[in-house]
Amino acid sequence: MLTALEEGVKGGKWFSLIDKVASVRVLRSSFERVKRNRGAPGVDHVTIERFEGHLKEELERLSESLLSESYRPQAIRRVWIEKPGGHEKRPLGIPTVRDRVVQGALRLLLEPIFEVEFAETSFGFRPQRSGHDALRLVVEHLDSEYTWVVDADLRRFFDTMDHEVLMTRLQERVSDGRVLSLIEAFLHQEVMEGLERWTPEAGSPQGAVLSPLLSNVFLDPLDHLLARKGFAMVRYADDFVVLCRSRAEAERALREVRGWVEEVGLVLHPEKTRIVDATLEGGFDFLGYHFERGRSWPSKKSLRRFKATIRRQTKRTNGYSLEAILSVVSCRSRGWYQYFRYSPGRTFLDLDGWIRMRLRSILRKRYHGRGRGRGRDHQRWPNAFFAKRGLFCLLTAYEQAGRPSWR
């Protein structure tokens, strides 16, 4: 298969893939990925640990059912989770472990087939590419005076992807009817929410292993269309911006985007889609960062989400030991810093002070005080007190790393 990927296949289409999807070796490799990603059980209540307890038998049973075409996906369990930095919620689909394993096997086989043709401006859920890569390209365009930005938002993209359009895209490269039927079966999986069940007519649930790849297959033609038209686009899954040199160019780009989106049955969010001059106050958000007047820092939503997490971990009624609290807070802060390390030092200085205030408030209550940590609490529990006990300091990490910059 690797040789064929390098040299191409006859007619540009792939036949006879089901035997590879059904290979016990491929299914085992897929399970290892499912295990690393952890995740909750689906409607059958089978956990990853329970599935692994009978792994050989489970994989052999899956392989046989795939080859005999008797395999049928189970319903997806739907839950609602809060959107980052807001009060809105979005649906998350949780397939069963067995279905995640089969979807993972499909992804292992299909991803390299489509990856070779994906546009260079696409970064989401692709091998050797990250959100930082996408953000760095945005900065490069802004530095090159592409400062008029089409800040686009696809309304409920994962719920509204047209199945017929998607299957047509897949059929351009895959001709194995059993593989295509298997993908269609996953697209039409029943959704179970509480005691209700229904079959979706469009979309691919967020949380399904195949959904990221399918989203890239669906949106890849838009990437190539804008590239042919000479526009600088940067996309991460369904989140994208188009950077232009003038407002007129940005308006043309938005017309191209809107025309393509309407053609494939998607909808641009009327309130969240806009044209922005990044050299002026206001700017735009992309992948958690805010860009404005040649600078970037965490967006308001990113800061609200981080603070909400720290608040939950630092309630004054928290009964855990200070060391345990510091460990949890440090773990969260360290992960947040790794993503937002390209922000200005002031961001970290302010957050460090706010976090220590939350911790002093806990200590103040434990010593029968009221209110937030303030005043003489700074002398009673100075910054060094927390540093000595292992609290991760955002500003220290930033300075020790040489004040990281996109440029």
Strand partners, 286: 289
Confidence band for 405, pLDDT divided at 50, 70 and 90: very high
User: So what's the pLDDT on residue 213?
Assistant: 97
SS3 402: coil
pLDDT digits (tens, 9 = 90+) for 56-95: 999 999 999 999 999 999 999 988 877 655 566 778 889 9
Q: How far apart are CA 101 and CA 32, in angstroms?
A: 9
DSSP state of 272: T
pLDDT digits (tens, 9 = 90+) for 252-292: 999 999 999 999 999 999 999 999 999 999 999 999 999 99
Q: Smallest Cα–Cα separation from 217: which of 190, 243, 195, 187?
A: 187
- Angstrom CA distances, 310 to 142, 320, 328, stand at 33, 15, 9
- In this structure, are residues 100 and 186 in contact, taking their beta carbons and an 8 Å threshold? no
Q: Give the type of residue at 50.
A: R
User: So what's the pLDDT on residue 5?
Assistant: 65
- Angstrom CA distances, 50 to 15, 45, 53, stand at 35, 10, 5
User: So what's the pLDDT on residue 370?
Assistant: 83
Percent of the residues in the chain that have a pLDDT greater than 90, as a whole number: 86
Q: How far apart are CA 305 and CA 323, in angstroms?
A: 24
β pairing state of 284-286 and 191-193: unpaired
pLDDT mean over 108-134: 95
- Angstrom CA distances, 132 to 105, 116, 223, stand at 28, 21, 19
- In this structure, are residues 119 and 227 in contact, taking their beta carbons and an 8 Å threshold? yes
- In this structure, are residues 202 and 160 in contact, taking their beta carbons and an 8 Å threshold? yes
Between 4-13, 122-131, 228-237, the lowest mean confidence (pLDDT) is in: 4-13
Q: How far apart are CA 263 and CA 388, in angstroms?
A: 60
Asked whether the predicted pLDDT for residue 333 surpasses 90, the reply is yes
For the beta carbon of residue 401, count every other beta carbon within 10 angstroms: 10
pLDDT digits (tens, 9 = 90+) for 235-246: 999 999 999 999
Asked whether the predicted pLDDT for residue 375 surpasses 90, the reply is no
E strand map for 88-217: 89-94, 148-153, 191-193, 196-198
The helix (H) or strand (E) run that includes residue 289 is strand 289-292
Asked whether the predicted pLDDT for residue 16 surpasses 80, the reply is yes
Q: Which residue has the tokens 């706010």?
A: 354
For the beta carbon of residue 312, count every other beta carbon within 10 angstroms: 11
Q: How far apart are CA 187 and CA 218, in angstroms?
A: 13
Average pLDDT, the chain: 94
Q: How far apart are CA 260 and CA 219, in angstroms?
A: 10
Q: Smallest Cα–Cα separation from 76: which of 157, 159, 20?
A: 159
Asked whether the predicted pLDDT for residue 165 surpasses 80, the reply is yes
Asked whether the predicted pLDDT for residue 15 surpasses 90, the reply is no
Confidence band for 205, pLDDT divided at 50, 70 and 90: confident
Contacts of 216 (CB under 8 A, 6+ apart): 114, 118, 122, 124, 125, 126, 237
- In this structure, are residues 83 and 90 in contact, taking their beta carbons and an 8 Å threshold? yes
Burial-class residue 130 by CB neighbours within 10 Å (0-12, 13-18, 19+): middle
pTM value is 0.91
Query: What angle, 0 to 180 degrees and rounded to 10, lies between the N-to-C axes of helices 177-187 and 97-115?
Result: 120
